[in-house]
Amino acid sequence: MSVPDPLLKAGEESRLPVHVAIIMDGNGRWAKARGLPRTAGHRKGADAVRSAVKAARELGVGYLTLFGFSSENWNRPADEVSDLMGLLRFYLRNEIEELHRVGVRLRVIGERSRLAPDIITLIEESEARTAANTALNLTVALSYGGRPEIVRAAQRLAAEAKAGRIDPQAIDEAQFARHLFTAEIPDPDLLIRTSGEKRISNFLLWQIAYAELVFLDVLWPDFGRAHLDEAIREFQRRERRYGLTHG
Ligand code: IPE
Ligand code: IPE
Ligand code: MG
């Protein structure tokens, strides 16, 4: 996104982030604390996704992006991966009607080809069904890694250059960004991570260049409207400078 006018207008301190991205972490610890299997945490985590989407709609956030499954998460034990894929199937089958009814547009980003064929079909149908909706842009990152996304963009640009369609010297940030999964989506203003971990874990590496980072101690299954409010209040206390001097 372009650098905004450094002269902040009165009242702009209380602005809402246009795009909130969330690293939904802590399902396993939530379950462990209750002596339950990790799957129970993931199931409760899916309920928290519903709460987060509802809260974002109520607040009027334009874009909500959720990290659901990372490229690295494929390396978890096979039974956990298959539980997570089962939950994803269930979510896609059962939530789409409601998401569509309330005007949510769903997009999925990540290495889609690694997902099971029936899940790919469900994703394609869900994206097509909700494509004209405008109340909230919900993006779910599945089989997603920031570095693989950047490498893929570089491969595509290299192929275009090799074919003589583009001049390597003319590649700029905007053109690079158009080759990322997020080509149609503005960069996040606010990135939240739950569970107390303070790391990015390969999420949206390019896109969060100037995002405000907020780390919450809440475990993802317990996340709700109050936590989103808390993170947005923290965001509103921050001064975004974009490399400029104090405003
Ligand atoms: C986040 O919860 C969900 C996914 C990564 C799929 P975790 O499963 O990472 O939970 P913790 O970090 O072990 O508590
Ligand atoms: C990041 O959480 C991925 C998702 C939330 C989907 P992880 O639990 O996989 O990240 P690490 O392993 O703690 O860095
Ligand atoms: Mg985790």
pLDDT digits (tens, 9 = 90+) for 78-97: 999 999 999 999 999 999 99
Query: Which residues are part of the catalytic machinery?
Result: 25, 73
* Nearest-ligand number for the alpha carbon of 66: 2
SS3 50: helix
Tell me the pLDDT tens digit for each residue of 127-176: 999 999 999 999 999 999 999 999 999 999 999 999 999 999 999 999 99
Look at domain 17-145+187-237 and name its CATH class: alpha beta
- Mean pLDDT within 21-48: 98
SS3 184: coil
CA of 150 to the centre of ligand 3 (A): 23
Number of H helices, E strands in the chain: 7, 6
For 95-174, strand residue ranges (E) read 104-109, 136-144
Say which range, 31-35, 162-166, 190-194, 240-244, has the weakest mean pLDDT.
240-244
Ligand 2 pocket: which of 22, 24, 25, 32 to mutate (most atoms within 8 A of CB): 25
* Nearest-ligand number for the alpha carbon of 220: 1
The label of the residue with tokens 């989103």 reads 228
Tell me the pLDDT tens digit for each residue of 228-239: 999 999 999 999
CA nearest to 181, candidates 159, 148, 135, 132: 148
CA of 27 to the centre of ligand 1 (A): 5
Give me the pLDDT at residue 130, please. Answer: 98
Give me the pLDDT at residue 247, please. Answer: 66
Nearest-angstrom CA–CA distance, 201 and 127: 26
Tokens of 184: 């149609």
CA of 71 to the centre of ligand 2 (A): 10
Rg of the chain taking only CA atoms, in angstroms = 19
Say which range, 8-17, 174-183, 230-239, has the weakest mean pLDDT.
8-17
Tokens of 62: 């334009």
Give me the pLDDT at residue 72, please. Answer: 98
136-144 and 190-193 strand pairing: unpaired
In the predicted structure, residue 177 carries a pLDDT above the cut 80:
yes
